[in-house]
Amino acid sequence: MAMAQVETQPQGSLVDDDGKDDCLEKTKTLICALNLLSRNLPLSQDIFDAVSSIYDDVDEVDDVVEERAGGSDNGLGILKRGDLIIELEDALVKQRANCSSGSGLTESRDKRLQSHIQHRLAELEELPSSRGEDLQSKCLHELYGLKLSELQSKVRSDVSSEYWLRVHCAYPESQLFDWGMMRLHRPLYGVGDAFDMAADDNLKKKRDVKVICSLSLLMRLSRLQEQEKNLVETRKRKFFAELLDATRELQLQIQAAQRRRKQRNDGVQASYVARIYFHYQAWHGRQRQRATRAEKLRFQALKSDDQEAYMRMVEESKNERLTMLLGKTNELLVRLGAAVQRQKDAGHDGIEPLKDSDADLLELPASNSETPGDSIPEDDADIVHSESSQPLKTGDLLEGQRQYNSVIHSIEEKVTEQPSTLQGGELRPYQIEGLQWMLSLFNNNLNGILADEMGLGKTIQTIALIAYLIENKGVTGPHLIVAPKAVLPNWVNEFSSWAPGIVAVLYDGRLDERKAMREEYSGEGKFNVLITHYDLIMRDKAFLKKIHWQYMIVDEGHRLKNHECALARTLVSGYRIRRRLLLTGTPIQNSLQELWSLLNFLLPNIFNSVENFEEWFNAPFADRCDVSLNDEEELLIIRRLHHVIRPFILRRKKNEVEKYLPGKTQVILKCDMSSWQKVYYQQVTDVGRVGLDSSKLFLSSDYVPVSLSPLLEVFCKDLLIYSDLKS
């Protein structure tokens, strides 16, 4: 090689004897550099500096040789040697320029990532806010995520480091060194950097030496600690064993003393305790029997509606729950009386909404600290305060009921004879009483329910009321009668028979017929009574609600017991009505929902919310967090609700008003089967199948309903199913 030739020149012309060792080192350095470059490996910093210094020395030697050689023939060798040096220098510069450490690459990657993140953040912040909600939400999520990326990376690194330390360094006394120092951040040496590998090797050797020393020291310390720990545990076990033995011995001594004392005292106390326990059980048994007997008597009096006896027994029993319940219901009856009085004093042009003080009438106080008169006017406050401030007595508990009943029918009008316009016959005395009761409701600006038993003439009494209003009160109508479609002809016939002078219009038929009737009777005073059925009340509501009705009379009113049905909602809220009358033959049931539905129909502005009803039902015990009622308390509330609705309802039975009528006689008439039915019945009972004809298969008995007897099947299904065999 050319460089080797340069190094082997006569020393007298190039170097002296002292520089022989230096030339040898330079030659080794060049050989090492060539080996690394031939394998395309990076040069370390010390080798690169040594090669650079050799280049400078070679340039000086070349200048000396050129001066001494002049124009000799060695120019070709010098040229070749210079080319090799130039190529080596270019290779070194190129290798140095292309060399990148691992930390540099990591840093450049992080810079690119941060630049991309900043660019994306700028784009997201500059986006307009007038996009769709989904796209806006996605962009906001991405923006917040990018802003939190640095914090997320740090948290992840900390969590990962802590988790690794917790898993691998759970027992620091058994580790080689303090792994808690791993939480400190240290630079990474020689990662991907060939120039720092030697330093890493030295650090690794030093660390290994330290680890070995620490390991030996820790092993000695752990052995000493283990010995000390075993000694302490041995002492503890010995101490606790002695303590437990002493405790057991003391317990045995105490138990022996107690047994001796018990044996001495049992003989004296056994007979005394037995006598006391026997008398105690006997006394409690008598008290329970007395309480059960009193409860049965109260319940029986309540079922028989004997208010005086029930109040007296409640006072004697000193039952706090019943006394409080009666007091609360009594206060409510006083409030209802005041509300009914304001309803009576309302205007006669239609039912108007109550004021705020009236609407809050049924809202009971939430706690005992509130006075009952907070939600009622000043004229009624004295009554409520006087009853709530004094102790409850039997008379006081019934005073609210008496005041309530007196308010309902305060204006009375005596009816001695039937209206002269009734020409179909003469009313019976109980029918005159019914007319007087309905007239009392009219005079007191209230509504009611005529619930006489079937056959006592509710229709005739209603017609008599309309005739009396026309004749004596000047109320010519219009009145609206709503009844089932099947009984509409009966109403028309009764009007034509009993009161032919009253113009009663039957509103029924097809759409074109009803349209013609609306055009014919659209003016005022063209009819007195309009008779229609339930469907048209809801279907033609747009026309019928325009008329100001004097009376709405609903026949078969038990359909209104469900306040959520469309008919009930339509009648209560869809029409302008001055008075309401309900006709029904069904007695009042013990159901809160049905009672509220009837009260809502009678007084829609007072009983306008079923929540108020439920609140009143649970209010007496709401402050005690105990709203569960037993049978007696529930029946008491139902009875008090019956007292609320009783002034608005009139119900009589036949055996009460027509005592001379004989009792019902039941006659059972039996008829024989036809020839076809006999054959059919015989086949069903014997074979279980019915033969149609010879060309068809038998009909399986599975087609016959199993819930019917064979005889009933014959009457219900023979000619309906097999109509082709009628002949």
Per-residue pLDDT reduced to its tens digit, 626-680? 455 566 666 666 666 666 777 777 888 887 777 766 667 888 888 787 787 787 7
172, 173, 177, 178 alpha-carbon torsion, rounded to 10°: 40
Contact (CB, 8 A) for 575 and 549: yes
DSSP tag of 553: E
| R_g (Cα) of the chain, nearest Å | 56
Both structure tokens of 306:
């004997």
Residue 172 tokens read as 């620091």
Long-range contacts of 81-84 (CB under 8 A, 24+ apart): 81/2, 81/3, 81/5, 81/6, 84/1, 84/2, 84/3
Positions of the chain with pLDDT lower than 70, given as ranges: 1-19, 38-40, 55-85, 88-89, 92-102, 168-201, 203, 267-268, 296, 298-330, 333, 343-409, 562-563, 587-593, 595, 608-643, 660-663, 688-727
Q: What is the pLDDT of residue 236?
A: 92
Cross-strand bridge partners of residue 554 = 482, 582
Beta-carbon contacts of residue 667 (< 8 Å; ≥ 6 apart): none
| pLDDT value of position 300 | 66
Helix, strand, or coil (residue 420): coil
CA torsion sign for 678, 684, 687, 690 is positive
- The answer to whether 677 and 715 have CB atoms below 8 angstroms apart is yes
pLDDT at 374: 34
Q: How far apart are CA 380 and CA 28, in angstroms?
A: 123
SS3 427: coil
Name, in order, each residue with C-beta under 8 angstroms of 491's C-beta and a sequence gap of 6 or more.
Answer: 459, 481, 483, 504, 506, 531, 555
The rounded distance, in Å, linking the Cα atoms of 114 and 672 is 104
Contact 41, 95 (CB under 8 A): no
Q: Would you say 55 and 89 are in contact if contact means Cβ atoms under 8 Å apart?
A: yes
Instruction: Calculate the CA 653 to chain-centre distance.
Output: 49
pLDDT of residue 308: 66
Q: Quickly tell me which residue has 């138990």 as its tokens.
A: 255
- The fold of the 429-587+651-657 domain, in CATH, is Rossmann fold (3.40.50)
pLDDT of residue 628: 55
Task: Return the pLDDT at 234.
Answer: 92
Q: Angle formed by the axes of helices 133-147 and 149-168, to 10°? A: 60
Is 14 within 8 Å of 61 (Cβ atoms)?
yes
* CA-angle at 399, arms to 313 and 630, nearest 5°: 45
| pLDDT tens-place string over residues 280-339 | 777 877 777 777 777 767 666 666 666 666 666 666 666 666 666 666 666 776 777 777
| 3-state SS class at 506 | strand
Token reading at 131: 């996009």
The pair of three-digit structure tokens given for residue 531, joined into one six-digit string: 């008779």
**Where in the chain are the domains?**
2-98, 135-185, 200-303, 319-344+355-402, 429-587+651-657, 675-725
457 — alpha (psi -120 to 50), left (phi > 0) or beta? left
Q: Name residues whose C-beta falls within 8 Å of residue 701's C-beta, 6 or more positions apart in sequence.
A: 684, 688, 689
CB contact set of 17 (below 8 Å; sequence gap of 6+): 11
DSSP output for 510-521: -HHHHHHHHHHS
- Give the number of other Cβ atoms within 10 Å of residue 461's Cβ: 23
pLDDT at 625: 46
- The answer to whether 509 and 532 have CB atoms below 8 angstroms apart is no
